[in-house]
Amino acid sequence: MSCVIFGAGKIARGFIGHLLYLSDIPFVFVERSEALVNQINERGSYTVNILGAPDKNCVVKGVRALSYSRTDEIACEIARADAVFNAVGGKNLEELISSYVSGIEKRAVSGIPLNFITCENWKNPADLLRNGIRKQISSETMEYFESSVGITEAVILRSAIEPEPEQLAADPLVVNVQDYWQLHVDASRLKGALPEIKGLHLIGEFDGFLERKFHTYNAANGTVSYLGALLGYRILSDAAHDEYIVSVLDGVYRETSLSLCRKYGFSEADQYAFTQGSRQKLQSRVIVDKTERNARDPLRKLSYDDRLVGPARMVLSCGVLPENLCTGIAAAIFYDEETDPSAQQLKQLRLAKGIDAVLTEVCGLEPDGTLGMLIKEKIQELKDRGYIHAE
């Protein structure tokens, strides 16, 4: 029994690799960074610290890694794997396709099913991979691919936080993670069974769960991140305790919860419990996460389907006015972090062409539509409060 993990970053090491190690399943990382590959192979282990629960800390041992250049070895690892995971960042998914194709073609000889599990905070990552593989796979392997290869999605709810300098000095591969243990996976796209992995939670009605997570956790995170940055908070949990931000956050939960219950039939009590998991994560003082890390790349996070505009569109489509979500969008439009190229591009667009251009070119919204007008109203409210200054 073995697994392959594409990516060796914080989620790959601190969640997927951690769960596999606790399940006594050997695994290998496949990583683009040669320096990180060498570090993993030289050390052979890394520490996982559980925030707020040090008794659960763990040293993951017997670790190894392959660089992307080791194409033949990677194909062999995939061909004999019980499952393949990826946690590389959604924008890097296409880089995996050729390796996946080679591994699938080797595996096809056995006829044994194989599952790929995407662990990305990205829209439709499984479809992106399946469509990309379908274009490259050989005609001889196509029947096996269609009948016996599962490409499915996982929702990652464990946060991984940057370690402190003294922790890195002791172990440069150390990962600090949230005390959360469930790996939620879409069961409907699997072919055959997955290995027995600790924390594995197979979900049949995954579309509702995925949208629920996105519109609850991601929308709340975006709201607190951008309002927190606007109000000068460096630490996300500090922002999540600010009286004004909490009032907006409560409004976001009301808007998304009412809409999700209408759309998917969730009970109010069940959805309320789900929002409380999101709130506790944002407000936890043991998760010392930077506001800047969460607000990073506003051009992507303000896009039509992402964590603020996407939920606002969903809420409006369910007959609810997303006033608080639009407050979060208004704050994001004025995110101004000097070290973030995306934030600076956004600022340049805003200053050169105005808010309507941001709404059109970044958010994909009609400036004079319901959402566009509401966002502009919320920008004025933030100006009236003194949070946005005249430019």
Residue 205, pLDDT > 90, answer: no
Cα–Cα distance for residue pair 2/72, rounded to 1 Å: 17
Residue 234, pLDDT > 80, answer: yes
pLDDT average, residue stretch 190-203: 97
Domains 3-204 and 208-384 equal at CATH topology level: no
Model confidence band, residue 389 (pLDDT cutoffs 50, 70, 90): confident
pLDDT average, residue stretch 212-228: 96
pLDDT at position 179 is 96
Q: How many residues belong to the chain?
A: 391
pLDDT exceeding 90 applies to what percent of the chain? 95
Q: What's the predicted TM-score (pTM) here?
A: 0.89
Rounded alpha-carbon distances, angstroms, from residue 120 to 50, 163, 359, 366: 21, 21, 26, 29
In three-state secondary structure terms, 249 is: helix
134: which 2 tokens?
């379908």
Determine which helix (DSSP H) or strand (DSSP E) holds 361, and give its type and residue range.
Answer: helix 355-361
Say if CB 175 and CB 10 are below 8 A apart.
Answer: yes
Give the angle subtended at the CA of 282 by the CAs of 201 and 223, to the nearest 5°: 110
CATH architecture of residue range(s) 208-384: Orthogonal Bundle (1.10)
pLDDT average, residue stretch 91-115: 97
In three-state secondary structure terms, 290 is: strand
In three-state secondary structure terms, 294 is: helix
DSSP assignments along 28-72, one per residue: EEEES-HHHHHHHHHH-EEEEEETT-GGG-EEEES--EEETT-HH
Cα–Cα distance for residue pair 180/11, rounded to 1 Å: 12
pLDDT at position 110 is 96
pLDDT average, residue stretch 39-58: 97
Model confidence band, residue 255 (pLDDT cutoffs 50, 70, 90): very high
Model confidence band, residue 246 (pLDDT cutoffs 50, 70, 90): very high
Cα–Cα distance for residue pair 90/179, rounded to 1 Å: 24
Choose the CATH number for 3-204 among 3.40.50.720, 3.40.50.300, 1.10.3720.10, 3.40.1190.20: 3.40.50.720
pLDDT per residue as tens digits for the range 256-275: 999 999 999 999 999 999 99
Give the angle subtended at the CA of 132 by the CAs of 191 and 310, to the nearest 5°: 90
Cα–Cα distance for residue pair 119/4, rounded to 1 Å: 13
pLDDT at position 142 is 98
Mean pLDDT, rounded, of the chain: 96
Residue 390, pLDDT > 80, answer: no
209 or 240, which is more confident: 240
pLDDT per residue as tens digits for the range 114-128: 999 999 988 889 999
pLDDT per residue as tens digits for the range 287-297: 999 999 999 99
pLDDT at position 236 is 98
Cα–Cα distance for residue pair 315/260, rounded to 1 Å: 8
Residue 24, pLDDT > 70, answer: yes
Name residue 101's amino acid. Answer: V
Domain boundaries along the sequence of the chain: 3-204, 208-384
Model confidence band, residue 77 (pLDDT cutoffs 50, 70, 90): very high
Residue 391, pLDDT > 90, answer: no
pLDDT per residue as tens digits for the range 320-362: 999 999 999 999 999 999 999 999 999 999 999 999 999 999 9
Strand intervals (E) in 178-248: 183-186, 200-203
Residue 6, pLDDT > 80, answer: yes
